[in-house]
């Protein structure tokens, strides 16, 4: 009974410390919003020199038409509420060109949360809740080459990150994963080959009959290594295949969107 008494006490103490540490770390993490801006010109540069070519929208001439795809997504661990917008200010971006029309706004019920008025030069995300994982998008037609800059950031204790930076990090992590998977596979395969080549020196025993004929049976560490070769190496070989599928999916998305250029945002 003494053991149970002290044992329960230790368990409760360790649990309390772990919970306090988790709460401290979790509470210190800042909220995070990802901003993605991409633009495409609707007229080829070589075609702009031809005076006969003209572009219009609803009867209005557009000299240098560009389409901007804009999105904000809550990629953090907490919802963003209305009170996170300081003084009820909007998250605003200057586009550097006159907005001719808003072609798309989406984000569920509150699709009008992204405001881009005709004749204006700003895209605004109005105050309100942005749930974890939720995104608001807008597609606008502008007259002039866009140059995006942060106009106002009222978000409190929230980090703004660029999607293009996140994509670059993802590609770098994929490359590291590929190198790591290849290195581990080669190391395991090379070790098993060396063990089989120098069985006597390493005191390796091999099965002479049965379903596992030719397999290592002793010592235990060599058996574990052999099974790692059988299981881990084929599993790691799927990593390049998975990355190739992901890359192909990204290419399909890019081709569906046309000739898209990522736009840097000054001030973020």
109-164 pLDDT per residue, tens: 445 688 888 899 999 999 999 999 999 988 999 999 999 998 999 999 999 988 88
Closest CA to 70 of 97, 48, 41, 103: 103
* Each residue's pLDDT tens digit, 229-264: 888 878 877 877 787 777 776 555 554 444 445 555
DSSP 124-192: EE-SS-B-TT-EEEEEEEEES----EEEE--BTTEEEEEHHHHHHHHHHHHHHHHHHHHHHHHHHHHHH
Q: Which residue has the higher pLDDT, 9 or 203?
A: 203
Instruction: Tell me whether strands 31-41 and 158-162 are parallel, antiparallel or unpaired.
Output: parallel
Let me know if 87 is exposed, middle or buried by CB neighbors in 10 A (0-12, 13-18, 19+).
exposed
Handedness of CA 82, 83, 88, 93 (dihedral sign): negative
Provide the CA 169 distance to its chain's centre, in angstroms. 8
Where do we find the tokens 């105050």? 127
CATH architecture of 28-162: Sandwich (2.60)
Confidence of residue 60 (pLDDT cuts 50, 70, 90): confident
223, pLDDT greater than 50 = yes
* Each residue's pLDDT tens digit, 162-183: 888 877 888 888 888 888 888 8
pLDDT of residue 110: 45
194, pLDDT greater than 90 = no
What 3-state DSSP class applies to 205? strand
Most confident of 48-62, 127-141, 167-181, 209-223: 127-141
Q: What is the mean pLDDT of the chain?
A: 79
């Amino acid at each position: 009974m003494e053991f149970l008494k002290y044992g329960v006490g230790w368990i409760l103490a360790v649990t309390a410390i772990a919970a306090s540490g988790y709460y401290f770390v979790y509470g210190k993490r800042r909220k995070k919003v990802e901003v993605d801006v991409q633009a495409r010109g609707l007229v080829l540069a070589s075609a702009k020199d031809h005076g006969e070519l003209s572009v219009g929208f609803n009867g209005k001439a557009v000299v240098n038409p560009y389409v901007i795809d804009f999105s904000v997504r809550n990629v953090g661990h907490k919802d963003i509420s209305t009170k996170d917008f300081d003084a009820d200010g909007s998250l605003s971006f200057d586009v550097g060109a006159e907005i001719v029309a808003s072609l798309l706004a989406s984000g569920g019920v509150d699709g009008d949360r992204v405001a881009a008025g005709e004749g204006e030069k700003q895209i605004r995300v109005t105050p309100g809740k942005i749930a974890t994982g939720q995104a608001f998008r807008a597609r606008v037609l502008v007259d002039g080459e866009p140059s995006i800059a942060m106009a106002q950031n009222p978000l409190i204790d929230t980090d703004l990150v660029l999607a293009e930076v996140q994509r670059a990090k993802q590609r770098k992590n994929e490359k590291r994963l590929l190198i790591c998977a290849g290195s581990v596979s080669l190391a395991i395969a090379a070790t098993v080959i060396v063990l089989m080549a120098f069985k006597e020196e390493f005191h390796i025993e091999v099965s002479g009959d049965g379903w596992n004929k030719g397999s290592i049976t002793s010592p235990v560490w060599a058996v574990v290594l052999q099974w790692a070769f059988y299981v881990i190496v084929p599993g790691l070989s799927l990593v390049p295949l998975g990355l190739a599928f992901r890359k192909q999916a990204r290419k399909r998305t890019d081709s569906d969107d046309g000739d898209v250029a990522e736009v840097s945002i000054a001030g973020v």
